[in-house]
Amino acid sequence: MDNLDDGNLGSQDLNQPIPLGDDLDKPIPLGDDLDKPIPLDGGSAPKASVSHSPLNLGGGAVEAPKIEIRKPVAKKPAPKAVSTDRITGVKNFFTKLHPGAIQFLDEQINDWLKQNPGVTIKRTNVTTGDVQSKKTEPNIIITVWY
């Protein structure tokens, strides 16, 4: 604090607190009296009026530009490629994973389709997994929805 300018302080002693007035037992005002500054000489100061209206900076009223927002046009959904007929049944075919068994599976599926000429296949699924019988062995499983 070596750079204090004593010219701005006048005759005020820096080591002494700022006096609050003569009556030190007077309570500090709260509530509506907060707008009043506390006078240093103990007198009463006029209440300052505060405006709560918007500040006018001298400019005229400016209207925001109106922006026209276009609504997106709904596209028609594309027709589905699947058949509109409902699935009425399911048939599973499975066999062990070796060449002779897979060839036999092909014959079984072809024979089933020949015996049921009115069947329209809607969906198929092929997966491999273990099927339990006397021994648990990997199998190919074909599921046909019609």
Per-residue model confidence as pLDDT tens digits over 53-92: 777 676 666 677 777 888 888 777 777 665 567 888 999 9
What is the CB neighbour count within 10 angstroms for residue 131?
15
Residue 42 phi, psi dihedral angles, 5° rounding:
90, -5
Answer left, alpha or beta for residue 99, where phi above 0 means left and psi between -120 and 50 means alpha. alpha
| pLDDT value, residue 6 | 52
The residues that bridge with 126 in the sheet, in sequence order, are 142
Residue indicated by tokens 């002494």: 16
- What pLDDT shows up at residue 24? 67
Query: Would you say 93 and 145 are in contact if contact means Cβ atoms under 8 Å apart?
Result: no
Strands (E) across the chain are located at 90-96, 123-132, 136-145
Residue 55's φ and ψ, nearest 5 degrees, are -80, 130
Interval 117-127: pLDDT, tens: 888 889 999 99
